[in-house]
Structure 1
Amino acid sequence: MAKSLLLPLSLLLVFLFHGCLAQIELPQRQFWKNLQEQQQHRLRAKTRCRIERLNAREPSRKYNYDAGHYEIWDSNSEEFECAGIDFVRFVIQPKGLYVPHYTNAPELLYVTEGSGIHGVVFPGCAETYESGSSVSSSEGRESRHSDRHQKIRRFRKGDLLAMPQALTYWIYNDGDTPITIVALADVGNENNQLDLQFRKFFLAGNPQASRSQEEQRNIFAGFDEDLLAEALDVDTQTINKLQSRDDERGVIVRAERLRLVFPEYEEEHERERESGRGGGYNGLEETFCSAKIRENIDHPSRADVYNPRGGRLSSVNSHSLPILSYLRLSAQKGVLYKNALMGPHWSTNAHSAMYVTRGRARIQVVGNNGKRVFDEDVNQGQLLVVPQNFVIVKKASNEGFEWITFKTNENAINNQLAGRLSAIRAMPVDVLTNSYGISRDDARDLKYKREEATLFSPGSRSREYDA
């Protein structure tokens, strides 16, 4: 009897052992699976990255419109083609409306100046915002005029706005100062199934109104007037207005009488804070139709890394803004104090587009052949694209340095070459001694002298500079 029970019992123990082992290994296997998927999602658009020289670039073209202007960087440069990105900057004057449009690639927008209102149209979602008023007719009857639309949101300086591809959005400046926004378009993203050209599809306005603009019109202009009038059940005069062929205002137009109703900003911001970062993301409070698409990245209390002698870093990724897991993008805001450094590091799984928001810094970038591909000062308003795995080091000038970096991965990872969290610190002293042909004392200094983690205060060898 005992022998007959022995075999089933041994099989049960083997099954339980392997089940436990599988459970232990599952997180590790899932980690590598996720990492592999993140690396592969851009393979479709991969181009040749033969980078001999990087450049800190400024916009190459500017288009002036009725209530603002639009600037683009030259996307034909080697580093832009390698990273599979486009980059733009636009300014909206007070009472300016950036008309509804959508794009073929996901975008990350960062508000460098100003505040305003924006709306995103999620297909198939309900009109959850309503405004209305009662008015008396000439016949003495009371009628109600109302407007229903999807959710609209306020934004302010320092906000990061996530815009999925092919979703219509618009922006309005209801303030007294201009709005300035910079945006990365990830044309190499798998969600863009066209090509590496960034395309905007306007539902209104006339992009061609700018003399320097290439031939382009809004999408209604391409349809037959009668067919469109029948489809929308309106008269042809209205269709002529939609097609905007004779409209010379461009795509950022003046809108003096734009009346919008929504919750007060502080109330909405507090509610999002409590349900988002404060309460943690559990998947219940965020549906497709009411997805959170904004996160402020500027406030000092938001910092993930802080050194009172060096500066601070704040990151937004798919953990803090879940919609980024769909866009497969993330961002990092950095501040370096006077003459401080961000030690040499590389991005393990993303290309980086760094836009300077204030100050100046000396930056060096080194490629896989050990040659310097960039060694210059970068200034406010300039953009530097750094390909994946290229090593970069930053040293702030006397006036300090601030930047926003857009990354082509929803959970971008940096690897350090100096400091407490560096690859050097993680290796045994004897490996360093034999690799570099140095003494054990020098190897210990190499490992332990810089105790700071990521952002470094000016060291004993630091020299002030003010180019």
Structure 2
Amino acid sequence: MDLILSSKKADKTIVEVEGVGGYYTWSSSQFAVLSQKKIAAGLLVLQHRGFALPHYADSSKIAYVCEGECTAGLISPEDSKEEVVKIQKGDTLPVTVGTVSWWYNAGDTKLTIIFLGESSEDYTPGEYCYFFLTSAAGMLNGFSNELIAKCFHMNKTESEKLMKDQSSLNLLIKINESIQMPNSSNSAKRKLVYNLDGAKPCVEVKNGGHLSSVSGKNIALLGEVGLSANRVVLEGGAVLGPIFTADWSIHLSYITKGSGRVVIVGLFGKVVLDTKVEEGELFFVPKFFPFVVEADEGGIEFFSLKTSSKQTYGELSSGKKSIWEAASPSILEASLNMTPDLIKSFKSKIAKGAVIAPPSTI
């Protein structure tokens, strides 16, 4: 297995406009595992009134708002209806392959959104390929004025003006205050948006932290595209795991706050990654590889994509779902080479715990 695991910050700037914002990615040349496993990540930053022009991409992804608030528009090629939603910190929003989207920061603070998704059919494996409808890099510029005039039922003067007006636009622009942006829809938000920060945790441990998840059970569209996600908050010194993905899916995580340590164990008990991670970094866990995340003193928070619509994990840690807890005492006695008394004590302690462990008091 030729995988080089690491944790990295975004290293590639796709566009950056002073006073407006920028879009950044993890290049497959610097983070090769993305192209090898056909997954991708992108980071959008918009300042007040910053606007990302309408575009679509060659892959499906989940957007998670790390900070700020945003108005987003989505137009699915299936029904050509624009769905406008207002999203804020903690919200997740699926964006399916071929769906046209735009993003606008109407708030007074900086907006940061992380996009994690699959790239199995991408033109550039490990990186999203975007197709912009407008701007100097827009698709209309590839067609002649004559063709544009015919396609849009314009005369030559009108088509020339349309193309000329596009030539000065960047991919990210600042919206003029005179432009009235469309209103958001509550019904669209109920259908498409799920707030992980405010959701009832799947796991919650006093002084340890909590884990929340979103899947097809919460947003039907995620079930259709085969993606899910979770958010983990660990308090200082707390530990998540060891756990592993118990299906063919893989695990891609972005550190939204704090720092800590990630340890991943591969085949035959070999440590394949043992590294410090911090805010803004991305790390990848291969399928079936158990991993542990240990928070530094200040705690750690991260958002994770799972390339499956189900949240199925094998738990090697404590808790009612622990594999150790499920195994028969005689099997553990033989497998761990321990006495019956030690096995009894071992199982009783496991039963009291959870997949998140608070800081040790020893």
Indicate whether the TM-score tops 0.5.
yes
Larger proportion of helix = 1
Residue 241 of structure 1 corresponds to 164
* 1:205 and 2:135 are equivalent in the alignment: yes
Residue 254 of structure 1 corresponds to 174
* Aligned residue type for 2:9: E
- Residues 339/326 of structure 1: CA separation in 2 closer, same or farther (3 Å cut): same
Identity %: 26
Aligned residues: 351
Q: Determine the C-alpha separation between the residues in 2 that align with 1:250 and 1:205.
A: 6
* Aligned residue type for 2:311: A
Residue 371 of structure 1 corresponds to 270
- Residues 80/124 of structure 1: CA separation in 2 closer, same or farther (3 Å cut): closer
* 1:70 and 2:23 are equivalent in the alignment: yes
70-79 vs 93-102, which moves further: 70-79
Residue 452 of structure 1 corresponds to 353
Q: Determine the C-alpha separation between the residues in 2 that align with 1:237 and 1:175.
A: 35
- Following superposition, the deviation at residue 170 of structure 1 comes to 0.4
Q: Determine the C-alpha separation between the residues in 2 that align with 1:57 and 1:335.
A: 20
The question of whether the paired residues in 2 share the 8 Å contact of 1:79 and 1:387 is answered with: no
* Aligned residue type for 1:262: N
* Aligned residue type for 1:240: M
The question of whether the paired residues in 1 share the 8 Å contact of 2:140 and 2:163 is answered with: no
Q: Determine the C-alpha separation between the residues in 2 that align with 1:400 and 1:124.
A: 43
Residue 250 of structure 2 corresponds to 351
* 1:227 and 2:125 are equivalent in the alignment: no
Residue 65 of structure 2 corresponds to 111
Structure showing greater Rg: 1
Q: Determine the C-alpha separation between the residues in 1 that align with 2:101 and 2:325.
A: 47
Q: Determine the C-alpha separation between the residues in 2 that align with 1:298 and 1:118.
A: 19
- Residues 361/95 of structure 1: CA separation in 2 closer, same or farther (3 Å cut): same
Q: Secondary structure at the match of 1:302?
A: coil
Q: Secondary structure at the match of 1:81?
A: helix
Residue 174 of structure 1 corresponds to 106
* Aligned residue type for 2:233: V
Residue 393 of structure 1 corresponds to 292
Q: 2:8 aligns with which of 49, 57, 69?
A: 57
- Residues 222/429 of structure 1: CA separation in 2 closer, same or farther (3 Å cut): same
Residue 328 of structure 1 corresponds to 226
* 1:184 and 2:116 are equivalent in the alignment: yes
- Following superposition, the deviation at residue 238 of structure 1 comes to 2.9
Q: Secondary structure at the match of 2:183?
A: coil
Q: Determine the C-alpha separation between the residues in 2 that align with 1:303 and 1:258.
A: 40
Residue 155 of structure 1 corresponds to 87
Residue 342 of structure 2 corresponds to 442
Deviations 1:218-253 (A, max 9, x none): 2111111111122112313333236x34x2x52111
Larger proportion of strand = 2
Residue 310 of structure 2 corresponds to 411
The unaligned stretches of length 5 or more in structure 2 are none
Q: Determine the C-alpha separation between the residues in 2 that align with 1:220 and 1:323.
A: 30
* Aligned residue type for 2:87: F
Q: Secondary structure at the match of 2:232?
A: strand
- Following superposition, the deviation at residue 124 of structure 1 comes to 5.7
Q: Secondary structure at the match of 1:434?
A: helix
